[in-house]
A = this chain, B = another copy of it.
Amino acid sequence: MDTARSPLAPAGFPDLPPIAGVTPHVARARYKNWDRCDLTFVTLDPGTAVGGVFTQSKCPSPEVEWCRKALILGQARALVVNAGNSNAFTGNRGREAVEAIAARAAKHIGCEPSDIFVSSTGVIGVPLPIDKAETGLDAAFTAAPCGWEDAAATIMTTDTFPKAAMTTAMIGGQKVTLVGIIKGSGMIAPDMATMLGFIFTDAAATPDFLQHALGHANRSSFSCITVDSDTSTSDTVLAFATGKAGNAVLEDSDSAGADAFRAALSDLCLRLAHLVVRDGEGASKFIRIDVEGAESDASARRIALSIANSPLVKTAIAGEDANWGRVVMAVGKAGEPADRDKLSIRFGATQVAKDGLAVEGYDEAPVAAHLKGHEIDIGVDLGLGDGKATVWTCDLTHGYISINADYRS
């Protein structure tokens, strides 16, 4: 498998501060036959609030079911992430593995199992070996704390670079910091959280506020990206707030600083989501698709996703081919209101089609130059109403086929 760093990766790992009340550890559970850390154990100080969004798959992993249930209580003391085995579709043995992990972690920390959040990522259908998980957990608990880069690297599977971002917000005169790590490269599609993302902040917030803010942020970030239209059984984004910053607790949208925190969280989620697209399996182009003039925002989003998920659009971009006819095709197949003769399409800054036909003699040079770059911008105006949406995706290349035609082997 090609493990070269994605050409769309940022230059390096960002400089991230610690978050008070959050202590990451990593260890080798050896879920696969590899010599790398694959178990992440993040301990959280008492009083940490948690919010989460999960896959909408009808066949979710037992980890997702566990977290959904634990979320009701709104409190977290630790996060355990297993890489190399998703534990999904493993029946009772999968449930037992999650319960065993939560029990072991709770015993180490001295808390209830329901305070432990568990995520796993990797191949579907193989029960997570409980002995390896327990051994790894014991090792992680006794290991020295690690930095964010180690934690971000340890949750990776087919990812080619560790992904993280940070931001800050002022809440009632008090600065709070948010750090997020994320993994995901294939089996990435919207309508749910992306594969595995974890956000840590020292802000003080109630679980209800955190849940609401994360749901809001999710709708314009993780729900607006797609790599391959395939939705994982394990998609999870969790946000943990330790309260150590000492701000007045964020309780609802009227709380001082609520808007600032929500804006910071949304910004962080969007940057994390973009990192996933930049590590899309086989990706060579980062593609932004803006749809405007639709009948509604929801309609615009469905049209944008139809374009973003079209194999023919994605392969055309991979081939640096300004084949805008495929964009027309993808608009047409979306099933949303559209009028062929009002439709306009832009590649980069160049209008290539307007009012239902090609712009006579448009300058192909800037379009060709734009398509040779790594950052591709496609604009569609339906000419019908005020609905608009933006989604992000990557191209479809030989790399995707190579990675996925022999992932298990």
Interface residues, chain A, with chain B CB atoms under 8 Å away: 55-60, 86, 88-94, 123-127, 186-187, 189, 228-233, 309-312, 315-316, 318-319, 321, 323-326, 328-341, 343, 353, 355-358, 396-398, 400-402, 404-409
Contacts and interface: CB of A to CB of B under 8 A. Distances in A.
Contact of A333 (B189, B316, B340): B189
A287 to B, nearest CB: 14
A323 B187 CA distance: 13
Contacts of A407: 316, 319, 321, 323
B312 A230 contact: yes
B325 A124 contact: yes
A189 B309 CA distance: 13
Contacts of A91: 341, 355-357
A269 to B, nearest CB: 21
Nearest to A234: B329
A329 B58 contact: no
Nearest to A125: B325
A205 to B, nearest CB: 31
Given A125-B353, A398-B401, A401-B398, A60 B332 contact: yes
B58 A124 contact: no
A59 B401 contact: no
A97 to B, nearest CB: 12
Given A89-B340, A90-B357, A125-B358, A408 B332 contact: no
27 contacts: A56-B333, A56-B335, A58-B334, A58-B335, A58-B339, A59-B332, A59-B340, A60-B332, A89-B340, A89-B357, A89-B358, A91-B341, A91-B356, A94-B357, A124-B326, A124-B328, A229-B310, A230-B310, A230-B333, A231-B333, A316-B408, A319-B407, A321-B408, A321-B409, A323-B407, A397-B401, A397-B405
Contacts of A127: 357
Given A91-B355, A124-B326, A315-B400, A321 B59 contact: no
